[in-house]
């Protein structure tokens, strides 16, 4: 990322805000905080689209058509990740680390985190904006810390250690919509750091750009747009490669799926054929070595 705060984090938060209060059948994983975190102009556009069920349905379809189904993946992945976090908390995990948090508002919207400490790590430029926007808002989580980091340069373990994170207790690591912006070297270094700070029973939920299911032209278009806004895309990665990288670091894969599966859990049958597998979510658990 170069010289400015992340714009892609605004867009994904805008989609979460858009699907909050969406008409019956389309609303999933409501994020009542997202709209307040958006830059004013984007918040205005979201409100305009949400002003009636008819306009919202039209917006849903139009965005899906323009992005070739990419936009559907955001609310669907939010729901899939929320479910994975709920399961982790249900199994006793009390630390959530959000890597490249952007405008993630889980600490402020998920009551299930009331006994958990949430550590949000992000680039200083993106985080400065977030800090300003959440000022005075009370988290639902027991603890909430914003920690500045550049994954290409800084050490996750050191940043977290300074914030009070306990590497000897199980943790849930969320890496949502970030790996595609990192070089392979930064991904491996981050995975090493995650493994090094993960007590047995810790979980990692990580999304990655899939190598299959994405037409070549769509991938090149996405790359050109991302490079144009200063957030160049890397990858994609294949599932066997991701699983191998996790396996050598002591993580056993629990699930690995995409919007093609998430849509079946969340939206009516009329929507199922629209979801594409641009991004996958792998959830893995650290075993005792």
Ligand X SMILES: C[S@@+](CC[C@H](N)C(=O)[O-])C[C@H]1O[C@@H](n2cnc3c(N)ncnc32)[C@H](O)[C@@H]1O
Q: Give the SS3 label for residue 190.
A: helix
Distance CA 41, CA 55 (A): 18
Distance CA 233, CA 223 (A): 6
> Contact 274/72 with Cβ under 8 angstroms?
yes
The span of 25-33, 96-104, 133-141, 264-272 binding ligand X (CB under 6 A) equals 96-104
Judged by beta carbon, residue 140 or residue 178, the one nearer ligand X is 178
Q: Does 123 bind ligand X (CB under 6 A)?
A: yes
- The answer for residues whose C-beta is within 8 angstroms of residue 197's C-beta and 6 or more apart is 156, 157, 160, 165, 167, 171
> What is the residue-wise DSSP string for 120-174?
EEE-HHHHHHHHHHHTTPPPSSSEEEEEE--TTTS-HHHHHHHTT--TTS--EEE
Q: Which of 31, 35, 82, 104 binds ligand X (CB under 6 A)?
A: 104
Q: How far is the CB of 6 from ligand X (least distance, A)?
A: 4
Within 10 Å of residue 179's Cβ, how many Cβ atoms? 25
Q: Which of 64, 75, 102, 170 binds ligand X (CB under 6 A)?
A: 102
Judged by beta carbon, residue 150 or residue 169, the one nearer ligand X is 150
Q: Within 167-226, which residues bind ligand X (CB under 6 A)? A: 176-178, 181
Residue with the closest Cβ to ligand X? 102
Helical axes 239-247 vs 184-196, angle rounded to 10°: 40
Judged by beta carbon, residue 55 or residue 66, the one nearer ligand X is 66
Q: Does 1 bind ligand X (CB under 6 A)?
A: yes
Q: Does 8 bind ligand X (CB under 6 A)?
A: yes
Q: Does 120 bind ligand X (CB under 6 A)?
A: no
The span of 65-73, 99-107, 188-196, 244-252 binding ligand X (CB under 6 A) equals 99-107
Q: Within 13-72, which residues bind ligand X (CB under 6 A)? A: 13
Cα R_g (the chain), whole angstroms:
18
* Site of tokens 């889980």: 106
Distance CA 122, CA 101 (A): 6
Q: How far is the CB of 200 from ligand X (least distance, A)?
A: 26
Q: Which tokens hold the place of 289?
A: 């070595």
Q: Does 126 bind ligand X (CB under 6 A)?
A: yes
Judged by beta carbon, residue 12 or residue 160, the one nearer ligand X is 12
Q: Does 122 bind ligand X (CB under 6 A)?
A: yes
Distance CA 235, CA 74 (A): 19
Q: Within 147-176, which residues bind ligand X (CB under 6 A)? A: 149-152, 176
In the chain the first and final C-alpha atoms are separated, in Å, by: 35
- Count of chain residues binding ligand X (CB under 6 A): 22
Largest pairwise CA distance in the chain: 54
Q: How far is the CB of 73 from ligand X (least distance, A)?
A: 11
Judged by beta carbon, residue 88 or residue 102, the one nearer ligand X is 102
The span of 9-17, 88-96, 133-141, 162-170 binding ligand X (CB under 6 A) equals 9-17
Question: Residues interacting with ligand X, by CB under 6 A?
Answer: 1, 6, 8-9, 12-13, 100-104, 122-123, 126, 149-152, 176-178, 181
């Amino acid at each position: 990322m170069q010289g400015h705060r992340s714009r892609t984090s605004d867009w994904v938060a805008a989609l979460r805000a858009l699907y909050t209060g969406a008409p019956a059948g389309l609303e999933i994983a409501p994020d009542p905080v997202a709209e307040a975190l958006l830059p004013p102009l984007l918040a205005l556009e979201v409100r305009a689209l949400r002003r009636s069920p008819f306009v919202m349905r039209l917006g849903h379809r139009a965005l899906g058509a323009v992005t070739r189904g990419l936009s559907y993946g955001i609310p669907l992945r939010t729901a899939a990740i929320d479910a994975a976090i709920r399961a982790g908390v249900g199994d006793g995990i009390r630390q959530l680390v959000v890597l490249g948090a952007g405008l993630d508002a889980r600490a402020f919207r998920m009551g299930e985190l009331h006994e958990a400490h949430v550590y949000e790590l992000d680039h200083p430029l993106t985080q400065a904006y977030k800090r300003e926007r959440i000022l005075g808002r009370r988290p639902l989580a027991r603890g909430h810390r914003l920690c500045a980091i550049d994954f290409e340069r800084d050490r996750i373990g050191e940043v977290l250690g300074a914030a009070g994170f306990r590497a000897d207790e199980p943790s849930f690591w969320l890496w949502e919509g970030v790996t595609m912006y990192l070089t392979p070297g930064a991904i491996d270094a981050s995975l090493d750091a995650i493994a090094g700070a993960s007590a047995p029973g810790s979980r990692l939920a990580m999304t990655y750009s899939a190598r299959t299911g994405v037409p070549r032209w769509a991938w090149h278009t996405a790359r050109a747009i991302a490079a144009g806004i200063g957030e160049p895309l890397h990858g994609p990665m294949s599932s066997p490669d991701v699983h191998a990288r996790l396996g050598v670091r002591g993580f056993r894969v629990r699930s690995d799926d995409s919007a093609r599966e998430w849509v079946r859990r969340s939206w009516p049958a009329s929507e199922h054929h629209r979801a594409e597998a641009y991004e996958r979510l792998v959830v893995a658990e650290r075993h005792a070595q």
